[in-house]
Amino acid sequence: MSGGIDSTIAALMLHDEGYEVIGITMKTWDYADAGSSSGRKETGCCNLDSFNDARLAAVEHGFPHYVLDIREEFGGAVIDNFVEEYMAGRTPNPCVMCNTHIKWNALLKRADALDCEFIATGHYVNVREEKSRFVISKGVDETKDQSYVLWGLSQACLSRSVYPLGHLLKTQVRQMANDYGYPELAKKSESYEICFVPDNDYRNFLKKKVVGLEEEVSGGNFVLANGSIVGKHKGYPFYTIGQRKGLDIALGKPMYVTHIEPDTNTVTLGDEVELDKSEMTVARLNMIKYDTINDGQRSSTKIRYKTKGTLSTLFNENGKVKVLFDEPVKGIAPGQSAVFYEGDDVIGGGIIQSYPVT
């Protein structure tokens, strides 16, 4: 229970259905440690107001509530990975890492300690058992579907997971909050920020985590695809594939980051069309619907959370998956997640490793 509308309504629904519910709020990060550079009041999943909102709902409906401190595990598996990926010239997805390695494992440990059979969250997905496997499928509300960020969950986690909101629209959930007597919760805005970067300035966060980073990486070269140097940049970790704004360079036309080379502190710029790629390699795979990928298997593959999938063909390649897209996709970023779909079902997913560099 984060204190937000989705997890709160999920808990109240299960309570009304007769489940013995225990609310858990996970403390992942101290905002005081984040050091916002914006000066604004922090909001999100790890502040005291959110904890109190979750506890109040539990108390008013007569079920227990606990705060689970997972800051140490979160720091090691999520924050350290976040920094390491940017330092390697990749673009991480910390929410996927958190779901895969922290939240479900932490919840299952506490569930076992409390003799609970299932864990439940407010994610907009559905899970079913089919042919001895537990399959994630998209939530009914396409605008809220969160299957993309859950591709890393193990079969053991999925076998004990319940998602009450998977068959509902967000508008219905907001109405339920009103019906339960929580009009403020129904109007509560949603945060799309990284919880440990509350001012959404990951560059400032990196500078604070890596001592001397600016001095070490500033002054690298901006180059074009042909290798010609066109300017200097502030350091390769501060750029992401597809970035156009904030480059601080004028070349007479819009330019985009098309490649990042950490070994030489080089950032390649190009026209928007140079972001188009027809293939990529995906590693660190986790299978959901099937236990393996068959060569030539068809998929709708998503490379970002809010994008539609692109039809593609999958091939095994030395423990990884090579993805050939039917049509070019824009802005493939190593470090991000690739998720393979068959209709609404998640076949599996992994971390984008590479794409052809031209």
Task: Extract the tokens encoding 89.
Answer: 């010239």
Average pLDDT of span 224-239? 96
Please report whether residue 44 resides in a domain.
yes
Please report whether residue 31 resides in a domain.
yes
- Residue 195 annotated among the catalytic residues of the structure: yes
Separation of alpha carbons 272 and 267, rounded Å? 15
Task: Extract the tokens encoding 303.
Answer: 């490379």
Average pLDDT of span 86-109? 91
Same domain as 220, residue 77: no
Nearest in space to 353 (alpha carbons), one of 91, 152, 177 = 91
Q: What is the pLDDT of residue 33?
A: 52
DSSP state of 78: I
Most confident of 44-53, 93-102, 190-199: 93-102
Asked whether the beta carbons of 103 and 113 are under 8 A apart, the reply is no
Same domain as 258, residue 170: no
pLDDT digits (tens, 9 = 90+) for 15-61: 999 999 999 999 888 755 544 444 444 445 556 788 899 999 999 99
Same domain as 216, residue 117: no
Same domain as 37, residue 173: yes
Please report whether residue 55 resides in a domain.
yes
Q: What is the pLDDT of residue 35?
A: 45
Q: Which of 97-106, 217-226, 324-333, 341-350 is the least confident region?
A: 97-106
Crossing angle for the helix pair 202-209 and 80-87, to the nearest 10 degrees? 100
User: Choosing from 95, 98, 116, 157, which is the catalytic residue?
Assistant: 98
Separation of alpha carbons 216 and 319, rounded Å? 35
Average pLDDT of span 217-224? 96
CA distances, 291 to each of 2, 9, 346 (Å): 33, 34, 12
Please report whether residue 314 resides in a domain.
no
Separation of alpha carbons 188 and 171, rounded Å? 13
Same domain as 264, residue 169: no
Of 29 and 214, the structure prediction assigns the larger pLDDT to 214
Mean pLDDT over the full length of the chain? 92
Strands 133-138 and 337-342: unpaired
pLDDT digits (tens, 9 = 90+) for 165-178: 999 999 999 999 99
Domain limit, last residue, from 270, 296, 312: 270
Q: What is the pLDDT of residue 191?
A: 67
Domain count along the chain: 2
Same domain as 231, residue 97: no
Q: What is the pLDDT of residue 103?
A: 87
| Single-letter residue type at 190 | E
Same domain as 113, residue 15: yes
pLDDT digits (tens, 9 = 90+) for 134-155: 999 999 999 999 999 999 999 9
Q: What is the pLDDT of residue 25?
A: 93
Same domain as 89, residue 45: yes
Same domain as 252, residue 177: no
Average pLDDT of span 65-69? 93
pLDDT digits (tens, 9 = 90+) for 121-133: 999 999 999 999 9
Q: What residues make up the domain containing 112?
A: 5-122+164-187
Asked whether the beta carbons of 258 and 243 are under 8 A apart, the reply is no
Q: What is the pLDDT of residue 131?
A: 93
Q: What is the dihedral of CA 194, 335, 97, 51, to 10 degrees?
A: 0
Write the CATH number for 260: 2.30.30.280
